């Protein structure tokens, strides 16, 4: 992530030096917030938004719009923000997600949900062809175009990381277990997340098949929840997934 700080005409005075230090501290604090938002399952939130671009944007920025601030946005972006919050609620209260968290809870404790968010995006990538008829690389290119198109309306905190999100393809980072472990390690260096990446690697090795099976049970239920409550048009390989008895 590249952030260019423009410091204009600072004289060599004590006050100027203190101002510069305070400004730098503020930037570091902002960076910590950027890398430790609740949203780590970006792909899932984007996919569940369906085909309406403004809803995609609202879902993408959901964690960065607090309280009633969502009312400042146009209707479909508001819809995406509300959808994001409801997806988080559904996930946090889901029995299967709770079960997956228990693998990581002994070391990650209250942060286990962050690990599962990342892990579930990995399993969505792994099982992409089971859900979406559009090739993942093509799908990502379309999403990157949408993010650039709506860049002017993004919250400032989101504007800081979107260039890196696109250029460094954060989604692809989650595509293999080693990438997940690497992400967890880097996050532990910059956020309150415990440095337990070796433990996470062992859990992934030991319970990978079981956790993938849990995801494949949970995710269709989430799709049905979103379609039912938001009438989202999600591109699906097989629309029978929307019929609970066929899943």
Query: Following CA atoms 157, 165, 125, 42 in sequence, which dihedral angle do they give, to the nearest 10 degrees?
Result: 10
Decide: helix, strand or coil at residue 2. coil
Task: Give kind and range of the element (H or E) at residue 177.
Answer: helix 177-190
- Per-residue pLDDT band at 244 (split at 50, 70, 90): confident
If one counts every other C-beta atom within 10 angstroms of the C-beta of residue 28, the result is 9
* Domain boundaries defined on the chain: 1-34, 39-246
Question: What are the φ/ψ torsions at residue 65 (nearest 5 degrees)?
Answer: -120, 110
pTM for the model stands at 0.84
Decide: helix, strand or coil at residue 175. coil
- DSSP characters over 3-32: ---------SSHHHHHHHHHHHHHHHHHHH
Mean pLDDT score across all residues of the chain: 87
- Which residue is associated with the tokens 């209260």? 93
55-97: pLDDT as tens digits? 999 999 999 999 999 999 999 999 999 999 999 999 999 999 9
- Per-residue pLDDT band at 212 (split at 50, 70, 90): very high
The alpha carbon of 204 is separated from its chain's Cα centroid by a whole number of angstroms, namely 20
119-165: pLDDT as tens digits? 999 999 999 999 999 999 999 999 999 999 999 999 999 999 999 99
Q: Of 223 and 37, which is predicted with more confidence?
A: 223
Q: Please say whether the beta carbons of 68 and 46 come within 8 A.
A: no
């Amino acid at each position: 992530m590249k952030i260019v700080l423009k410091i204009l005409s600072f004289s060599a005075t004590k006050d100027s030096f203190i101002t510069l230090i305070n400004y730098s501290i503020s930037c570091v604090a902002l960076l910590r917030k950027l890398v430790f938002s609740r949203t780590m399952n970006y792909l899932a939130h984007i996919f569940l938004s369906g085909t309406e671009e403004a809803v995609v944007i609202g879902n993408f920025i959901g964690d960065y719009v607090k309280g009633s601030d969502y009312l400042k946005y146009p209707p479909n972006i508001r819809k995406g923000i509300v959808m994001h919050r409801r997806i988080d609620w559904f996930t946090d209260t889901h029995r299967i997600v709770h079960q997956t968290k228990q693998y990581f809870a002994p070391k990650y404790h209250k942060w286990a949900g962050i690990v599962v968010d990342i892990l579930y995006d990995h399993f969505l990538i792994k099982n992409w062809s089971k859900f979406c008829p559009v090739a993942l690389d093509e799908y990502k290119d379309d999403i990157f175009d949408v993010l650039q198109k709506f860049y002017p309306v993004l919250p400032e905190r989101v504007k800081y990381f979107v260039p890196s999100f696109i250029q460094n393809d954060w989604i692809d980072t989650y595509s293999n277990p080693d990438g997940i472990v690497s992400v967890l390690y880097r996050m532990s260096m910059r956020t309150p997340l415990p440095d337990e990446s070796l433990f996470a690697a062992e859990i992934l090795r030991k319970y990978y098949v079981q956790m993938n099976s849990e995801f494949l049970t949970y995710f269709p239920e989430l799709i049905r929840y979103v379609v039912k409550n938001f009438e989202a048009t999600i591109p699906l390989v097989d629309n029978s997934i929307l019929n609970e008895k066929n899943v």
